[in-house]
Structure 1
Amino acid sequence: MTNVTDLSNVRASVETANGLPNAHYIDPAIFDEEKQAVLFSQWTGLAVASDVPEPGDAVPLTFLGMPLLLIRDKEGDVRVFQNICRHRGMILVDKPRKIEGAIRCPYHSWCYSTKGKLVSTPHVGGPGQNTHDAINRDTLGLNEVRSHVWRDVVWINVSGDAPAFGDAMSHIIDRWSEFDLPLHHGGYDSRFTLELNTNWKLAVENYCESYHLPWVHPGLNSYSRLEDHYNIEEPGAYSGQGTMVYRQITDENGDRFTDFEDVGQKWNEQAEYIAVYPNVLLGVHRDHAFAIVLEPQGPERTVEHIHLYYAQPDTPEGLRARNTQLWKTVFEEDVFVVEGMQKGRHVPGFDGGRFSPVMDSPTHCFHAWVAGKFEAHRGQRTAAE
């Protein structure tokens, strides 16, 4: 039984609440509990569909210790499978590659289609006997993990019992309905990763608020000032911040990216940055968007996978590179903050901190959601005992 942390005050009003206790950032036992309570039970970001652009493309991934296979099947649909053979549990694909025929297990050569169907079982009934009455291929296909692609992010629900994606995410889908448009990944120069010595939740918490802009992002704050920002909160679903001043970047010729079509006049100078719970950070602008998938690798280690998108597939390379560098600079400025807060969680007796009722309410919204998920999970576990 995990040491149960006291979350009673985390869900209090923002004026009086404390943040999540230290153990939720540093304790391996709480991290294991969090997998079930927060990360497996929700629609959680795994990767992006642009990682498998063509039919047959397959990429092995590890999600919270679980070997998974991201694949675009021969019909072009993105799927996620457990990356193990149903025979003896052998890893099927050990590096990114194109599946030309079937997915073949390297151990005993059982083969699966890109839709997960078991299609071949060589010598399973003895030498030269490729079938056996006890081996029903129809019931031994790859175990598929429930998945959905939205804004190019591949979301998975490991537990299999979350509401349908469209229902679970209806609030954010509706909020950004104007941006329900084709997204074109910028390509090799529009993706990068940041490896952080921090808990994944601290990356979410920092992204949610604009309070830190004047001190951590002075360049950004020089034109998109603190007072130009507003809080965004949908309790139980997402939170973040928006700005009323978005300045398009230009190249040396004064050229800009092509705008997304018909997104509405309000987006001419407005932009929004929202953390969709639990682990996906999204940004939208009139002329580009980004997605950040946070990969928790342990209580104190996180990898940020950052991807940039445009309205057109043929954006100018120089302008694209300039935009990537701009965002890389901004996100790197946050590293010392999230790593510094992680170190702070090792101070015994730290009470989780307090919130500015005005500036920190999107972050408090996230803390309250996490606490609620833990309490619900613990309630179910207690009822089952």
Structure 2
Amino acid sequence: MSVIDPILADVQKPTAQARGLPNAHYTDPAVFAEERDALFGVGWAGLAVASDVPEIGDAVPITFLDIPLLLIRGRDGVVRVFQNICRHRGMILVEEPRKIEGAIRCPYHSWCYSTKGELVATPHVGGPGFNAHKDIDRATLGLIEVRSHIWRDVVWINLSGTAPDFEDAMADVIARWAEFDQPQFHGGADSRFTLTVNGNWKLAIENYCESYHLPWVHPGLNSYSRLEDHYNIEHEDLASGQGTLVYRQLKDDSGQSFADFANLTPQWDAGAEYLSVYPNVMLGVHRDHSFAIILHPDGPGRTNEQVHLYYATADSDDNLRLKNAEQWKVVFEEDIFVVEGMQRGRRAPGFDGGRFSPAMDGPTHCFHRWAANRIATQRAAG
């Protein structure tokens, strides 16, 4: 692939010679809009978790990259994603999370849709008292569905509708964590929280990719899972991150810990892995719990991080679960100041994107290469 932009060409060089994405990719609204299509629209991005709609009829409106979407669990139990607009005049259908007891009714002219997105009622569309018209074909006017797939409870969406099947696109990561392809249970209200960060979403991904910062940013974590206990993970054009050879299970006062996931190989006895799956999902797996963090960009300089914790059984101990959530919240909050500090640093006109440590920053550079490739491909296509 030829890259016209010499700056993007520098990003794509080997790690020892490369520089990072330039400032505009963190601060410029026009570049943010370009990245919406290049980095989020073409492939699979994380939207929410299926546990957000646990029961039939549950519906949650989500504005994602300024696009109004609706996450809903249909009467058939299937979780779907639709554009949250009526096909009549584009009115927003659902304003707040709620349970759909009957149909999804547009508050403007009362057009109604089933939880599978079918248009089922068009009152007075043919004039007063006439609820049908020969030129209004209900079969072609259902809600616009957004292609979606659920993996590790994350609801992944493909906005363009043109990406390879999820199982093909994510094959390497799915295979890497095949042992964890088993039931996991969301910890409930005390196992979800949202962090708001005044920084570009890419900086959160970049920081999560590497363990280089542990001794200085996470001294508590580094006291037992040291920098030298970590290794880099790179899946080109897909995901990158880190693993640790030392994972310490959380225990309560009586020495009890969470139940383990079933039939794991010995590598997970004291190991754990953390992956940034491009563009916006950060995942972690351990022998006894896992987590998913979904990033929702709010313009170029603000990001909402939605954190969800999962366990191997549905009856995990309440107090231990709360302690685990508090522990992870401390770790994730420790990262906020560096993400926000790097964001402020992107206002320095002389900064050229920075350099990468050839030994420590391979996973972060892997993410930059992916982003540069996607952006260059879109620009080449015109």
Q: Shorter-chain-normalised TM-score: which range?
A: over 0.9
Instruction: Report matched runs for 1:55-66 at 5 Å.
Output: 55-66=56-67
CA offset digits 1:173-212 (Å, max 9, x no partner): 0000000011100000000010000000000000000000
What is the SS of the residue equivalent to 1:161? Answer: coil
CA offset digits 1:74-97 (Å, max 9, x no partner): 011000000000000000000000
* Structure 2 residue 351 is the aligned partner of structure 1 residue 350: yes
* Structure 2 residue 39 is the aligned partner of structure 1 residue 38: yes
Asked whether the 8 Å contact 1:5–1:23 carries over to 2, the reply is no
- Which residue number corresponds to residue 120 of structure 2? 119
Paired residue type of 1:180: D
What is the SS of the residue equivalent to 1:348? Answer: coil
What is the SS of the residue equivalent to 1:9? Answer: helix
Separation in 2 of the partners of 1:297 and 1:116? 28
Separation in 2 of the partners of 1:161 and 1:349? 39
- Which residue number corresponds to residue 19 of structure 1? 20
Separation in 2 of the partners of 1:234 and 1:306? 23
CA offset digits 1:324-374 (Å, max 9, x no partner): 000000000000000000000000020100000000010000000000000
Instruction: Report matched runs for 1:355-374 at 5 Å.
Output: 355-374=356-375
What is the SS of the residue equivalent to 1:362? Answer: helix
Separation in 2 of the partners of 1:5 and 1:281? 30
* Structure 2 residue 283 is the aligned partner of structure 1 residue 287: no
Paired residue type of 1:144: E
- Which residue number corresponds to residue 224 of structure 1? 225
- Which residue number corresponds to residue 152 of structure 2? 151
Separation in 2 of the partners of 1:60 and 1:238? 28
CA offset digits 1:67-114 (Å, max 9, x no partner): 000000001100000000000000000000000111000110000000
Paired residue type of 2:296: E
TM-score, length of structure 1 as denominator length:
0.98
**How far has the Cα of 1:252 moved from its partner?**
1.2
What is the SS of the residue equivalent to 2:116? Answer: coil
After TM superposition, the structure 1 stretch with the greater mean CA deviation from structure 2, 5-14 or 261-270, is: 5-14
Separation in 1 of the partners of 2:324 and 2:284? 13
Separation in 2 of the partners of 1:81 and 1:93? 11
Unaligned runs of 5+ in 2: none
Paired residue type of 1:348: P
- Which residue number corresponds to residue 252 of structure 1? 253
Separation in 1 of the partners of 2:207 and 2:35? 19
Separation in 1 of the partners of 2:203 and 2:317? 35
**How far has the Cα of 1:6 moved from its partner?**
2.6
Separation in 2 of the partners of 1:88 and 1:366? 40
Paired residue type of 2:23: N
Paired residue type of 1:81: F
What is the SS of the residue equivalent to 1:6? Answer: helix
Misfit runs of 4+, over 3 Å: none
Separation in 2 of the partners of 1:292 and 1:37? 21
Instruction: Report matched runs for 1:1-385 at 5 Å.
Output: 6-381=7-382
Asked whether the 8 Å contact 1:10–1:19 carries over to 2, the reply is yes
**C-alpha RMSD of matched pairs (Å):** 0.9
CA offset digits 1:106-151 (Å, max 9, x no partner): 1100000000000000010011100000100000000000000000
Fraction of identical pairs, as percent = 68
Asked whether the 8 Å contact 1:5–1:21 carries over to 2, the reply is no
Separation in 2 of the partners of 1:118 and 1:264? 49
CA offset digits 1:7-44 (Å, max 9, x no partner): 11000000000000000000000000000111111100
**How far has the Cα of 1:5 moved from its partner?**
7.7
Separation in 1 of the partners of 2:155 and 2:215? 34
Separation in 1 of the partners of 2:146 and 2:264? 34
Asked whether the 8 Å contact 1:84–1:91 carries over to 2, the reply is yes
TM-score, length of structure 2 as denominator length:
0.98
**How far has the Cα of 1:264 moved from its partner?**
1.2
Paired residue type of 1:162: A
What is the SS of the residue equivalent to 1:8? Answer: helix
Separation in 2 of the partners of 1:123 and 1:252? 66
What is the SS of the residue equivalent to 2:68? Answer: strand
- Number of residue pairs aligned between Structure 1 and Structure 2: 379
Paired residue type of 1:190: S
Separation in 1 of the partners of 2:100 and 2:177? 35
Paired residue type of 2:221: L
**How far has the Cα of 1:253 moved from its partner?**
1.3
